[in-house]
Amino acid sequence: MPPKKEHIDRIYTTGAAGYPGCEHIEADENGNKDFSKVIERAKELNPPTQIEEGKIVGGFAHGQVFALADKVVEAVKNGAIKKFFVMAGCDGRMKSRDYYTEFAEKLPEDTVILTAGCAKYRYNKLELGDIGGIPRILDAGQCNDSYSLALIALKLKEIFELEDVNELPIAYNIAWYEQKAVIVLLALLYLGVKNIHLGPTLPGFLSENVANVLIESFGIGGIGTVDEDIEMFMAR
């Protein structure tokens, strides 16, 4: 990713990394690296300015959620939780990704978000409250922790004695940006999950034929407006 010209003198590389114009730090004959230039340059620059504050509650990987299973199942059975929304995936700088913040803000109060990956930073500081002590945002961690979200879905399927994971009150509204999110998507498809929605756009590298297979066989869809999408998801 080419840096802006005004940043070149603040970027240092080492090892296999490198970019034209950026100073490269080599190891000496003993394998040691001298980072004093980096330290001195940092001292010359203004300190970073805090741009936000808040509290994030994480740690809801599958082990912790399994420990809450009785409470979660009871909340579903008595109607306190109507639906779970898997909002995992990637973040990016495009303005269109504000969609996910608005989507989380407008979800009904009887819904719970299951999240992992950097997409969560669009909404994990929102004050969405809890349902009977269960936080409305259950943060499993980073991209690789999407594994936990799949295990949670499979565990719920087992508890409710369902034949198909798609019978669960779970909707999938996933943001993608790069290949890792696509690998997570393929894992969900392998598990038989259908009607996943991807945004802000479908991956541009999909051929027309592959896109048609995903749409026709797995119900893959894109996103529209927040209000229309919430109505669509809640109606399923």
CA atoms within 13 A on the CB side of 30: 3
Tell me the C-alpha distance between 152 and 60, whole Å. 10
Stretch 192-202: mean pLDDT, rounded? 90
Q: Which residue blocks in 52-117 are alpha helix, DSSP H? A: 62-67, 69-77, 98-106
Task: Determine phi and psi for 199, rounding to 5 degrees.
Answer: -155, 180
Residue 218: is its pLDDT beyond 80?
A: yes
Question: Domains in the chain, ordered, with CATH?
Answer: 10-44 (no CATH), 62-235 (3.40.50.2030)
Interval 148-160: pLDDT, tens: 888 898 989 999 9
Question: Rounded distance, CA 223 to CA 98, Å?
Answer: 13
pLDDT of residue 46: 92
- Token duo for residue 121: 């930073």
What is the reported pLDDT for 82?
95
> Which residue pairs, CB below 8 angstroms and at least 24 apart, start in 184-192?
184/88, 184/89, 184/117, 184/143, 184/146, 187/146, 187/147, 187/150, 188/150, 189/214, 189/218, 191/150, 191/153, 191/154, 191/165, 192/164, 192/165, 192/166
pTM > 0.85: no
Q: Average of pLDDT values for 194-222?
A: 88
pLDDT of residue 87: 93
Which H or E run includes 42?
A: helix 36-44
Supply the mean pLDDT for the chain: 91
- Looking at residue 65, its pLDDT comes to 87
Contact 97, 130 (CB under 8 A): no
Q: Reply yes or no on whether the pLDDT at 54 is more than 90.
A: no
Res 179 pLDDT > 80: no
Band (38; pLDDT cuts 50, 70, 90): very high
pLDDT level of residue 20 (50, 70, 90 thresholds): very high
Q: What confidence tier does 175 reach under pLDDT thresholds 50, 70, 90? A: very high
pLDDT band with cut points at 50, 70 and 90 for residue 162: very high
What number of other Cβ atoms are within 10 A of residue 186's Cβ? 11
Q: Which residue in 124, 118, 112, 58 sits closest to 89, CA to CA?
A: 118
Structure tokens at 35: 């980072």
Checking phi first, is residue 53 left (phi over 0); if not, alpha (psi -120 to 50) or beta?
Answer: beta
Dihedral (Cα; 123, 128, 133, 134), 10-degree rounding:
-40
Maximum alpha-carbon separation in the chain: 68
Query: Which is higher by pLDDT, 91 or 236?
Result: 91
Report pLDDT for 35. 97
